[in-house]
Structures are given as structure tokens and as C-alpha cells.
Amino acid sequence: MNSPSTHTGRVAVVTGAAGGFGTAIATELARRGADIIAVDLNPADKTVAAVQEAGRKALALQADLTDPQQVEAITAEMLEFAGHVDILINNAGAFPFRDIWELDFAEWKRIQGINLDSQFLMAKAVMGSMRDGSWGRIVNLASNSLGLAVRDMVPYMAAKGGVIGFTRALATDLAPHGITVNAVCPTASSTPGGKDFIGDEVLEMVAGMQAIKRVGTATDIVGTVCFLSSDDSAFVTGQTIVADGGLMRV
């Protein structure tokens, strides 16, 4: 695949980068010229190998992104590796079903932490570097489930709704510094996480409700994320773009 070098010289941090959407996004950003810092709770060796195969530098970091101290520690490592950060893709998340009658506060907080708090902590970690360079792109992964009637997803939808609110507010605060902030809503897809939590039968059912009637893949959101992290989107901020095959309409 020959991609335009729209990200040449940029340094991109991708969270949740050990597989699925994260690997696909990091790999394509590398093909377009960016060096990659792959952050995940698990080893991101596969992603690093793909980035290096694309001819770019890569660093893998392991951290619990709900822990401010761990985020602070990897921030120092990121800046030591690259000197600056231009792009943040907040992809880390968890996709659990939880019966509201069984949900306790500890689990509620855990799901908010993974899906929302981690995005706040990572944005805080890198936006100073972006401000110093008068250029930055933050892309937050939300979910098309916000527009659907799906059971047992109260804490997840609450967190992803928070992502959209966070995106809109942060876009206003960071615009004077040349930093844009946008959100992307994917659909349930045939990533390892999607298969584990949803299963092939439900993925096929979801695909049948879409205008584009095939199961989503990790690469289906890559083009949207790359656009929002490039110079081409310089006049786009505070927006939520749904890349889900035409299931949710906004």
C-alpha cells in the first residue's frame, strides 16, 4: 500500500496500541511518515515491528493509563525518545457488558477510568509539547453505541458520552494553540476485543443493520483518524465523526 506522506516528521502517540484499532492506526500513520510511540497495558511488539517495517522509528511503552503516576513516568520516556509529541490517538478502552442490577460502584469507576479518565490523563501529558510546537492533533475514540438501543452498557455508554463532551470542551481550550481535538465513533468490529466481548454472531447481526452490510474491521476507521491527525483537518475541531458503515446517523 502506497500512502501519501501526510505525516512526515510528526511524532504520534497511539494508546491501546498492542492490537486491533491501535495496531492498524499506528501502522498507517507510520506509512504516512510518522514516528510512533505505542502505549498499552500489554506488550506492543507486533505494532513496533509493523512501524519499523514501514521505515519509521517506534517505541513501545507499557502502562496502566488510569494511573496518573504511570502516565507521568511514560511521558518522560516519550519526550526522551522523541523530544516532542504532535499527535495523540486516544484509542485505549474496554468494551464490557454489565447488567445495571449487578453493577457496583467499583466496577463503574473502573470502566470510566479505562474509557474516559485515560483520555484526560494522556491529553494532559502531551498537550504542553503540542503547545510548544504550535501544532497538535488529538483524536479520541468514542463509540457508535451512543446512538443505539443496546442493553447492559450503562457504564460504557456513560464513559463514551463523556469522551464526546471532553472532546468538544477541550477543542475550545486548545484551539488558540494550534491544537485540534476531534472524536471518532467506530462500530462493533472484528478486532480481538470485538470478537471476545461480542462474538461473530452479533457482529454479523450488526453488519446486517448497517447501510454497508459487512462486518467492520480495524482498518475501517484508519482513514478518518489519519485525516483528523493531518494538516488537511486544520479547520476541523470539536467534531465527532461516525465511521460505522452507516449504522448510526448524526
Q: Which residues are catalytic?
A: 156
Q: How many whole angstroms separate alpha carbon 59 and alpha carbon 183? A: 25
Give the residue from 120, 57, 52 showing the smallest Cα distance to 92: 120
Q: How many whole angstroms separate alpha carbon 106 and alpha carbon 178? A: 38
* Torsion sign across C-alpha atoms 118, 163, 134, 9: positive
Q: How many whole angstroms separate alpha carbon 29 and alpha carbon 54? A: 9
| Helix locations, the chain, DSSP H | 20-31, 45-53, 68-82, 105-112, 118-133, 154-174, 192-197, 200-209, 222-228
Q: Which residue has the cell 449487578?
A: 102
CA distances from 223 to 104, 190, 197, 208 (A): 38, 17, 25, 23
Asked if 155 and 108 touch (Cβ cutoff 8 Å), the reply is yes
